[in-house]
Structure 1
Amino acid sequence: MSWVITATCEGELLAKCIVACPEEAIQTSPDAKQYYINPSVCTDCGLCDLACPVAAIFPESAVPKQWRSSIEENRLFFLT
């Protein structure tokens, strides 16, 4: 299982999830509107979810329907 940061994060970029992640699996880029979780680095500890003040982080299997496109966006972020 991997975790996904959904569009709820867009524009927030509060970095609490980055601070909470012991594996440094959460990344962004200068032109990105949100953070992304690298599934090859994430150990599924869930600390990012607990730290997120906007409830934007979900296990991939539990991403709400309206934010399912975030799963593909996360995957594509790490292909570049």
Structure 2
Amino acid sequence: MTYVITQPCVDIKDGACVDVCPVDCIEGGEKDRQLFIDPERCVDCDLCLTVCPVDAIYPEAEVPPEWEHFTQLNADHFVDREADAS
């Protein structure tokens, strides 16, 4: 399981989650409207969830139905980056 950043992060990007992540799996550039969790690097520690001031982070299995598409958005963010690096 991984964690997923959802709608409440859009245009907020507080960054508290980035600061506490022990494996640096949370990223987002200046042009990104939100932060993203790399599902391949996430170690499911849940530290990000505990510090998010807007309650945007959920375990993958608990993402609210209206925000389920954010699971794929998070994964796609890192797939696109890997393709750009090739």
TM-score (norm 2): 0.89
User: Any stretches of 5+ residues in structure 1 without a counterpart?
Assistant: none
In 1, distance between residues paired with 2:75 and 2:38? Answer: 8
Instruction: Name the counterpart of 2:84.
Output: none
Structure 1 counterpart of 2:2, one-letter code:
S
Instruction: Name the counterpart of 1:52.
Output: 52
Higher helix share: 2
Structure 2 counterpart of 1:35, one-letter code:
L
| Structure index of larger Rg | 2
- Stretch moving more, 27-36 or 52-61: 27-36
TM-superposed CA distance for 1:7, in Å, is: 1.4
Instruction: Name the counterpart of 1:20.
Output: 20
Instruction: Name the counterpart of 1:5.
Output: 5
Q: How many residues align?
A: 80
Residues 1:31 and 2:31 aligned together: yes
In 1, distance between residues paired with 2:47 and 2:78? Answer: 21
In 2, distance between residues paired with 1:63 and 1:19? Answer: 22
